[in-house]
Amino acid sequence: MTDTLIPNGIKDSGGDGFKKGCNPFAQTGRSKLQNQRASLNKEIIKEMRMRAGAENLLKATSNNKVKEMVLLELSYVNSNLQLLMGQLEGLNSSVDVYQNAQETANIPLIALGLKETKEVDFSTPFKDFILDHYSEDGNSYEDEIADLMDLRQACRTPSRNEAGLELMAKYYSHIPLVESRFFSPNYQTGIFFTWYDSFTGVPVCQQNLSLEKASILFNMAALYSQIATRSNRQTTKGLMEAISSFQKAAGILNHLKETFTHTPSYDMSPAMLSMLIRLMLAQAQECLFEKTALPGIRNQFNSLMKMAQEAAKVSEIYDYVHQSMIQTPIKDNVPLLWSTMSQVKANHYRSMAHYFVASALLDHQLGPNDDEDQQEKTLSQVYDHLPEGRTPLDILKKKDERQCIGKAHIRRAILGHEEALRTYALCHHLNKMDALQDILKASHERSLNKCSDNENEDDFTDYTEAPDIISKTEHKAELEVPATIKVKVNDFFQRLGPLSVFSAKQRWTAPRTIRLRPEDRDLGFTLKGESPVQVVSLDPQCSAATDGLKEGDYIVAVGSTDCKWMGVSEVMRLLKDVNHEGTDIQVVSLMDSTPSMPTKSATFCGNLPKTYSMICLAYDDDGKNPKSRKVTKKSSFLSWGLKNKLKSASTLSLPTADWNKPFPSFPSSSSHNDSALY
């Protein structure tokens, strides 16, 4: 989506304004991708409707000829569903769309796509509920309902910056308020919230707000990941933004995993969320590595060994990510590009670690001015174990041993880079990423050059295997839950009264009019409470009691003045000036709130075989659009600057997409199987 915000100019009574999302019709790469995702979701629902109808017909008929025709139709439908799933996987593989707009020489990162949802019309259900439950005219709340619908609609197309995150945080903070106001445990509003699985496109539909909350959290994490991948990683500021955003994305996903444990959408299942958390942290660790290398790597023994362990740490984390991606059932739904890229990165950074150790051993000899103890300690911490008969001090002091181990490391680096290139070539989606291929080739070429520079005639007799490198980092990527998940908002429906009293859980009588006639300046009762005030110590002989006032009643109006939000002193100020003719007050009484039927939550999920609901599938895709708002012309967004810095001869630069430029950064299942959808 374009990153231009379209202000709607709406302000609530507390001055809590909000901005609309970006223009959904803007022809940017991200908007086109989301529009294609929405179209695919509609096609998937259409095919699922056909499959549900065919399965029902298959159960109902006993005619063998009809059964054969239905089975044939089912095979076509399942084949079409598999094709649509493949197209959705292609959209999730469109990694290049989310990268920084400027030309960079960095390895691409993976961003999550936003979950799509259907529009929801709160208007009629909320008006009916306000009339039935709160005994007020629902039409007088049209503006508040429109504001809520506008806010939800804007969250479908958030801008890719802090304003977009704030927008979703505001809606997420409004959801509990709306839930308390309108979603009673013993009253069904008839509102369905439908969200599509971001990996399978299968719709999930619920009448309560748990799915809505979870999906907004997922999209906040997705937006953080998109902000991270868009950051300019050739600058320290851009790398810090990417690191922070990936850590926040992981923190939100972890919060989602711990808070919403039974979400029916597969992309928010515990197994999938665990994998996504690892992926976000792995990419944060990769950016931390790039940040360390950004100023240049000092061509010194200790610096090279340190960077070797940092690279080994990145490789280790991507190994974990790849292992989680190839587990069942994750592997059936994660795009092949994701698992392939994690495998490529694991091999690439492992090879890079071996290259650094080889450079430290081959290019540097232990001199009289070097700290022998420090180098011995450093080398011993790099290896878990050494080849038999060798010690760290022997490797440092004996030139032959040093050369032997160094060449063994460079051979492992070459083999690792070759494996990364081979894995890269197997994924057709990865073949479109020229920058990644250039970096892999440049890294391979650099290792080959290092090997050729240290060749001699006796190498063919040397079969020494380089030891594994212990992973270690000084800056580990950590989960970070952003403070902006919840923000302070003003209740759209605060005119209904204090939420602690006037909520959907408590049922009230319709307002009753009581005539107050003071006798010797005594009204016959006292008041207590904050707001609204409550009648206590009622004299049963007073005129107000005779007119129907009861102890425990809440006063909601005095004359024409609404006093739901008034305290005792303010209400008494209105009542003390009542003359002998008296005045009218309006009161409400709390009714028995015992539910007349057991509390239940309707969940309709389309992602499990033969469990999706026809209510969900039959739900109209082309519902009425919410009230239109005036849209202002979008303004252009700021583009990131790109500044290259030349390295000094005393530093090493990592391979980039263009080897000649001194960049300052690192470089099926069967169609008849219903479960193939999930």
**Residue 487 clears pLDDT 60, i.e. is over it:** yes
More confident residue, 605 or 236: 236
What pLDDT sits at residue 264? 85
Q: At what angle do helices 372-382 and 301-325 cross, to 10 degrees?
A: 10
pLDDT digits (tens, 9 = 90+) for 99-108: 776 656 788 9
What's the CATH fold of domain 98-293+479-507?
1.25.40
What pLDDT sits at residue 500? 87
What pLDDT sits at residue 10? 40
More confident residue, 592 or 548: 548
Indicate the domain borders of the chain.
16-94, 98-293+479-507, 297-476, 510-589
More confident residue, 128 or 386: 128
What pLDDT sits at residue 663? 39
Which amino acid, 196? Y
pLDDT digits (tens, 9 = 90+) for 306-346: 999 999 999 999 999 999 999 988 888 888 889 999 999 99
- Please provide the average confidence, as pLDDT, over all residues in the chain: 80
pLDDT tier at 285, thresholds 50, 70, 90: very high
pLDDT tier at 458, thresholds 50, 70, 90: low
Residue 26's SS3 state is coil
Q: Which residues pair with residue 554 across a beta bridge? A: 534, 588
pLDDT tier at 413, thresholds 50, 70, 90: very high
pLDDT tier at 678, thresholds 50, 70, 90: very low
CA distances from 171 to 120, 151, 152, 165 (A): 14, 7, 7, 10
What pLDDT sits at residue 7? 41
Buried b (16+ CB within 10 A) or exposed e, 96-125: ebbbbeeebbbbbbbbbbbbbbbebebbeb
What's the CATH fold of domain 510-589?
Pdz3 Domain (2.30.42)
High-pLDDT (> 70) share of the chain, %: 78
**Residue 153 clears pLDDT 60, i.e. is over it:** yes
What integer is the mean pLDDT of 10-21? Answer: 49
Phi-psi region for residue 244, left (φ > 0), alpha (ψ -120 to 50) or beta? alpha
CA distances from 310 to 80, 343, 350 (A): 46, 18, 10
Please return the burial class of 674, using the count of CB atoms within 10 Å of its CB with bins 0-12, 13-18 and 19+: middle
User: How do the residues of the chain divide into helix, strand and coil, expressed in percent and rounded to 5?
Assistant: 50, 5, 40
Q: Which of 425-439, 442-456, 587-601 has the lowest mean pLDDT?
A: 587-601
Residue 199's SS3 state is coil
**Whether CATH 3.90.25 fits 16-94:** no
What integer is the mean pLDDT of 547-560? Answer: 88
Report the alpha-carbon distance of residue 259 to residue 239 in Å, rounded: 30
What pLDDT sits at residue 175? 94
Buried b (16+ CB within 10 A) or exposed e, 206-241: bbbbbbbbbbbbbbbbbbbbbbbbbbbbbbeebbeb
Buried b (16+ CB within 10 A) or exposed e, 153-167: bbbbbbbbbeebbbb
What integer is the mean pLDDT of 415-432? Answer: 88
pTM of the model: 0.80
**Residue 668 clears pLDDT 60, i.e. is over it:** no
Q: Identify the helix (H) or strand (E) that includes residue 672.
A: none
Nearest to 549 by CA among 508, 584, 593: 584
More confident residue, 6 or 54: 54
Residue with the two structure tokens 């109209």: 620
Q: Which residues pair with residue 196 across a beta bridge? A: 203
Report the alpha-carbon distance of residue 551 to residue 531 in Å, rounded: 16
**Residue 423 clears pLDDT 90, i.e. is over it:** yes
pLDDT digits (tens, 9 = 90+) for 491-523: 999 999 999 889 988 888 889 898 887 776 677
Identify whether the C-beta of residue 382 lies closer than 8 Å to the C-beta of residue 309.
yes
What integer is the mean pLDDT of 342-359? Answer: 95
**Residue 233 clears pLDDT 70, i.e. is over it:** yes
What pLDDT sits at residue 451? 86
CA distances from 322 to 87, 339, 346 (A): 22, 6, 8
Q: Which of 17-26, 127-136, 233-242, 396-405 has the lowest mean pLDDT?
A: 17-26
What integer is the mean pLDDT of 255-259? Answer: 93
Quote the Cα angle for 59-64-66, to 5°: 70
What pLDDT sits at residue 593? 57
pLDDT tier at 375, thresholds 50, 70, 90: confident
What pLDDT sits at residue 61? 86
What pLDDT sits at residue 453? 83
